[in-house]
Amino acid sequence: MYARAAIAFGLALLASAAQGEPVTLKLPGGASQSAQEASPATSYKLAIGPWQDDEVKSLTLEGARSDTAWRLRSNQNTTLQILAPLRDQLQQAGYTILFECATDACGGFDFRYRLDLLPEPSMHVDLGDFRYLAARNGSDYVAITVSRSSESGFVQVTDMSVQDVTPAQPDNPLAAPQTAAPLPTTAEAPTTPTAFAQALEAQGSVALDDLDFPSGAADLGPGEFGSLKALADYLKANSAMQVMLVGHTDAVGSLAANIALSKKRAEAVRSKLVSDYGVDPNQISAEGAGFLAPRASNLTKEGREKNRRVEAVLTSTRS
């Protein structure tokens, strides 16, 4: 499957090793690119350890990032057989392997959903059979995720070239970029008890948009959240009222996995309302809808961020 080890390709590997440039990997025959995204200046958390103690050890990098996914149709190789030649190419190009794992050793579900991967169906990940590798060559980093379905193999390669992302200042002040009008965004949840109560009772639900969930994560960080305080104040002032917290996700991963993840997010919010804000647990329940109710397109990073949310749904039928 990895035939035609061309002289030109070998020279390219040697050149990249000498110059510290991102390596171009050779995929198996029949591989077809299914998706690609790139950003000239962004941040990225590179996993360099397994899921352990509710976190994944990672490096926070800034610079130019590119993500490319391939589908290997009719490829019956195991995930190890797909990954091993790619690992060999990296090592031949001068990369040092920082971390490598397989499925359970990675941390299974929790580890996979800490990875920022391109969405299904471009990059399919079987939660029972995947492998991950992180490597470094100077200021260049590579993350490879490999999985498969019953019929095809799937590979995603994330290249990250660390560099200064501070924008250059123009010599001519008149050439400085003008402040553009902000793009329209989803309205944030009202954070005063009165406004929150009016919105919840008029609309039947309110999205708690000041909560932030990274892709694949259910953790809710410490600190005060205005929407949670407003919801807590509303429930304390209206002891007969009940709400259901409904978690929503982007479309990265299978429906079953996303329903489970979205419920974990809703449960995390419920726990915080009870433990930190003193809400009666009998007034709140938690469920997950996965990616079944998007409010933006999952084709863009911005859309996927908007879709990762928890909504408070009023379930009482009378006051």
- Is the domain of 237 the same as that of 149? no
**Tally of structural domains, the chain:** 2
Query: What's the pLDDT band for 249 if we cut at 50, 70, 90?
Result: confident
Q: Is there a contact between 127 and 257 (Cβ–Cβ < 8 Å)? A: yes
Does pLDDT of 18 surpass 50?
no
- pLDDT tens across 78-135, in order? 999 999 999 999 999 999 999 999 999 999 988 998 899 998 889 999 999 999 999 9
Does pLDDT of 15 surpass 50?
no
- Is the domain of 224 the same as that of 308? yes
How does the average pLDDT of the chain come out, rounded? 82
Query: What's the pLDDT band for 186 if we cut at 50, 70, 90?
Result: very low
Query: What's the pLDDT band for 176 if we cut at 50, 70, 90?
Result: low
At residue 245, what are phi and psi to the nearest 5 degrees?
A: -85, 120
Whole-prediction pTM: 0.53
- pLDDT tens across 225-242, in order? 888 888 999 999 888 999
Considering 36-45, 185-194, 249-258, the range whose residues carry the highest mean pLDDT is 36-45
At residue 77, what are phi and psi to the nearest 5 degrees?
A: -65, 155
Does pLDDT of 57 surpass 90?
yes
pLDDT at 60: 92
By percentage, how much of the chain surpasses pLDDT 90? 42
- Is the domain of 235 the same as that of 106? no
Query: What's 310's domain CATH number?
Result: 3.30.1330.60
- Is the domain of 144 the same as that of 207? no
Its domain, for residue 210, covers: 193-314
